Structure 1
Amino acid sequence: MQTLGIVFGSLIVAIAFNLFLIPHQILSSGFGGISMMIGMLTPMDTGVANFLLNLPLLVLGYLKLGKKFIWNTVLSVLVLSAGLYALPAGSIAENEILSALFGGAVAGLGIGIVFRSAGSTGGIDIIAMIVTRKKDFPIGMLLSSMNAVVILASGFFFDWDTALTTLVSIYTTGKVIDAVYTHHMKLTLMIITGKGEEMKKQLLGNIYHGLTVLDGIGGYSNERRNVLMTVISRYELAQVKSLIANVDPTAFVNITETVEVMGLFHKDTG
């Protein structure tokens, strides 16, 4: 399901770029926007530029965010780059403001789906993911604030009407990402398993939060079990469910929404 979500979300982003934003020279956020600018100003294809720009940050993401996340991101970058290259670019709407709003919303929907599938579309999304794992910021708002350089470049290379229209698109994208991604939602997981030590190592090695291990006894079986309790962000749920299933497919897992967390939420990763 994660792979399907990443492919589907990345294709949605490609559609938003080629049908709403690029025909009106409206830039998207991050490296996608820079790639679009390169495609408009040079003979290089937008998809090729997007792939080349992402290579250095993919290495950084591998070091900071883990193997599974970065492979999902590589898949998203490949699908997005291929979609930009293969899908024909043509304007659906003539009005630039409507194209900016709708294109930004569609792009935000696609990026949000990729985030919820434990991946990213590359570029500054990787930087934003690293920051949000250390600090509890809304990722859409953070991405929007990091895109000042795209807006300034748009005004410099094109015109300031285009820059302001780009700002509308980027702001809309950020708001939709936060609506879809809901990374601020916290969840409490209570995992009851007979493989407590293995489960603890797997979770501590792959998520950025601590956990508490309790001893328990099955009420019906009278067998000893470990009860692992942790609090995670909503966007980590797909990854954590996959980790749990890999260790113990029969584990009993209770997932509840958490109203508020006090104290340290993020594990100190050095």
Structure 2
Amino acid sequence: MLARALHWMNIIVSSALIGFAFNMMLLPHKVLSGGVSGIAMILGLVTPLNTGVIIFLLNVPILILGYLKLGNRFIIYSLLSIAVTAVSMQFIPLEAISNDPIMSAIFGGVIVGIATGLIFRSGGSTGGFDIIGMVLTLKKELPLGALIFALNAVVVFISGFVFDWDLALYTMASIYVTGKVIDAIHTRHVKLTLMIITQKGDAVKKKLLSNLVRGITVLDGEGAYTQEKRQVLLTVISRYELPDVKRWVASADPQAFVNITQTVDVMGYFRRS
């Protein structure tokens, strides 16, 4: 219950930060965000429509796709993020806090990247291309920030034709920084291989299988010095699962030796969560 409340609070605060970055760093200099938000910014700048309202309307069909592919909770969290961003943009003044468009693009991109990464870590998204990126990562393990950056390239070209190419380059710099920051925070695509050496193999295996949807290979081992029989458990997990796995192993066998290495790639079936 507490964890869910923290997720909600994190999404609310992070989404308000995105609204702040849009209205006080990016939009005043016509430096756009990427994806659907960037398209909404373009429409908001060339029409009398409010950018926050456009963001909400453009996200409706993408949210339906996310509901079908990613589940109820993801969409509820995403709707919360989109709503908070749209509402916050109604109250935060559209006023530049810096006269330098380059610094605004960079720091606006950093703030959007941090906020978006935290929303991803809480199980939601900011809508738009984020949802499309999440759906694509179900099929192929790719860094989400880099994938979103690639999807957002279309916004850069649109902004170049609508405004000018200096602004397009500022936009490219902003969404590049955003993508890098997202990948620094959202690391679900990073896989880890665990080698667990334990004298309580059955207890550790039971604990992991009851909490973790991962395959585990069990080998027989022997201590070279003590000649004591041990079991070696091998499994591959995502980086997000590591804190829980460490806690489960320690509860089953506090004396277990666990070697953790980063995995370059996996072949065969691996459940992406």
TM-score (norm 1): 0.77
Match of 1:11 in 2: 16
Counterpart amino acid of 1:183? R
Cα displacement string for residues 212-265 of structure 1 (whole angstroms, at most 9, x for unaligned residues): 498xxxxxxxxxxxxx9863333x549x96xxx9xxxx9999998542165436
Q: Which runs of 5+ in 2 are unaligned?
A: 1-5, 197-202, 219-232
- Give the 3 Å change call, closer, same or farther, for CA 56–213 of structure 1 in structure 2: farther
Counterparts of residues 71-90 of structure 1 (less than 5 Å): 71-90=76-95
1:114 counterpart = 2:119: yes
2:136 to 127, 131, 141: 131
Q: For residues 106 and 158 of structure 1, what CA distance do their matches in structure 2 show?
A: 24
1:260 aligned onto 2:259: no
Cα distance in 2 between the residues matched to 1:68 and 1:169:
29
- Which residue of the other structure, out of 210, 215, 239, is the alignment partner of 1:211? 215
Structure 1 CA distance for aligned equivalents of residues 193 and 75 of structure 2: 25
Note closer, same or farther for the CA distance 1:263–1:149 as it changes in structure 2 (3 Å cut).
closer
What are structure 1's unaligned runs of at least 5 residues? Answer: 204-209, 215-227
Q: Deviations over 1:90-134 (max 9, x none)?
A: 101101111111111111111111111111100010111111222
Instruction: Give distance in 2, aligned partners of 1:68 and 1:60.
Output: 14
The alpha-carbon distance between structure 1 residues 265 and 82, as it changes in their structure 2 partners (threshold 3 A), is farther
Q: Distance in 1 between matches of 2:8 and 2:205?
A: 27
SS of aligned partner of 1:111: helix
Aligned residue identity for 2:159 = S
Q: What displacement does 1:180 show? A: 1.7
Q: Is the 8 A contact 1:140 1:174 kept in 2?
A: yes
Q: How many residues are treated as equivalent by the alignment? A: 241
SS of equivalent to 1:64: helix
Partner of 1:141: 146
SS at match of 2:96: coil
**Residue type of the partner of 2:27?**
I
Runs of 4+ in 1 over 2 A off after TM superposition: 182-200, 210-214, 228-234, 250-258, 261-269
The equivalent of 1:57 in structure 2 is: 62
Structure 2 CA distance for partners of 1:257 and 1:128, relative to 1, 3 Å: farther
Distance 1:180 1:102 in 2: 16
Shift of 1:145: 1.0
Structure 1 residue 171 displacement after superposition: 0.9
Find the residue that maps to 2:132 and give its secondary structure: helix
CA contact (8 A) 2:193 2:262 kept: no
**Partner residue in 1 for 2:160:** 155
Match of 1:24 in 2: 29
Aligned to 1:169: 174
The answer to whether residue 113 in structure 2 is matched with residue 105 in structure 1 is no
Conserved 8 A contact 1:187-1:256: no
Amino acid at match of 1:177: I
Aligned equivalent of 1:183, options 174, 180, 188 = 188
Deviation at residue 182 of structure 1 after TM alignment: 2.5
Q: Which amino acid aligns with 1:127?
A: I
1:9, 1:112 within 8 Å by CA — same for their partners in 2?
A: no
